[in-house]
Structure 1
């Protein structure tokens, strides 16, 4: 009975919707803007606009009832890249330990996931079942559960995965996958939740992008200098606090900065992006700006 109940919850989370567009507007681009693909800008239930990492930036505040999903092949019509960068700008509810993004196969196997909190966990399982759960990368000593904005980059290449936080902290862990790993794109990609898991994402997200290759992860700090007011820039790795020091002669504008493998048959029948209620009810406590 418990298993049937869980399967029913899965159906509520990712209902079947037919009639998908065969050619998304962003097909063929070198990167996938996950937030746009999951229709965050249209502000579905449980999502509202919020101030981003800089006052002029637009972010999205996600409350507990909100869940967003889409068929993986709609985001990756040409297949999921072997080596890739995952880039995000995010601020979670303080103390939260929850998934940011999860990718399931058509059989309901969790193939890819990034879990934020303390510690940060990265899950990856290819078509051969590698790496096994004991070898899944865990970034101990890294916390993203402090209620502050963070720029996070994940670089997956070969047999390793590297986590870069705020352009300062860089940690690499082994990723013992097969020599030719493949991720099934006939399943579903879910924002902020895992099937059969009570924990869901609550917080603000400004960016969530997946880019083929790892160059984007390593260059993200150079490409995304903070531009907050008046075009003035300062790189995150040079900052010592949320506010810059002013000299008597120069007073630039103020800078504000702020596992797992059931079920086996439900995910095959998935459709276009859809909102669905999470089994747990509750309201998202408001996160005050940094």
Structure 2
């Protein structure tokens, strides 16, 4: 297993790429924090090796803040292998957040608040022992792996934000205020609203000024619920994935 700890601020990398891509826009809030607006038919792809450089760790935290209001399931973030297979994916719907990993591992967490058009913090923890999801500083669910052999993410493919990964889906449309991988640090997800909040401030602060009901309670310490796990998922639309690869070939 990989143990080196390092941070990948994906939002900064996406900001530089989005300048040459249509249907993306970069803005800043009053705290000078960048906000990436993603249009519904935007597809932003970066070679995985340019994002993660050397390795994709087997233990990690994924931290993000997002705002969207689609009523259909959509793909937010996908890492595609060189054979057009899905190695890592975050999908969201009005009812759930879905994590898809390599070897057809599929985990669905019931979350009903993400598509309400407000800003939300989401943190996914992947450790050798378990998988856990936090939303708005609350532990949603935690599950122990039945067997864990690592993420299995290679760096020969593409990282894709938005776009059509599956032929049947609706493209993502919304805004991102944080998108950070903390490689080798699975505990960072539980500290998202404390030590790992973005230092420039947050678009959530701007939302809070207009919505006094928005609050960030302390994290629970344990989780006992178990999300649905499906060993078989539908194959990705390989023609679309290959088409994305050709963009950068």
1:100 CA displacement: 1.2
In 1, Cα distance between the equivalents of 2:145 and 2:244?
27
In 2, Cα distance between the equivalents of 1:35 and 1:269?
21
State the TM-score, normalized to the length of structure 2: 0.73
Partner of 1:103: 79
1:191 CA displacement: 0.4
Q: How does 1:139-288 map to 2 (within 5 A)?
A: 139-176=109-146, 178-197=148-167, 198-212=169-183, 213-223=185-195, 224=197, 241-242=213-214, 259-263=234-238, 266=242, 272=248
Higher strand share: 2
User: How many pairs align?
Assistant: 217
Is the 2:74–2:91 contact (alpha carbons within 8 Å) kept by the matching residues of 1? yes
State the TM-score, normalized to the length of structure 1: 0.63
Is the 1:187–1:267 contact (alpha carbons within 8 Å) kept by the matching residues of 2? no
Partner of 1:9: none
Partner of 1:44: 21
Structure 1: which 5+ runs fail to align? 1-27, 244-258, 275-290
In 1, Cα distance between the equivalents of 2:158 and 2:50?
9
In 1, Cα distance between the equivalents of 2:48 and 2:134?
25
Structure 2: which 5+ runs fail to align? 216-233
Cα deviation digits, residues 263-285 of structure 1 (max 9, x gap)? 2893795565x9xxxxxxxxxxx
Partner of 1:81: 57
In 1, Cα distance between the equivalents of 2:35 and 2:154?
30
Is the 1:130–1:176 contact (alpha carbons within 8 Å) kept by the matching residues of 2? no
1:99 CA displacement: 1.4
Q: From the CA coordinates, give the structure whose radius of gyration is larger.
A: 1
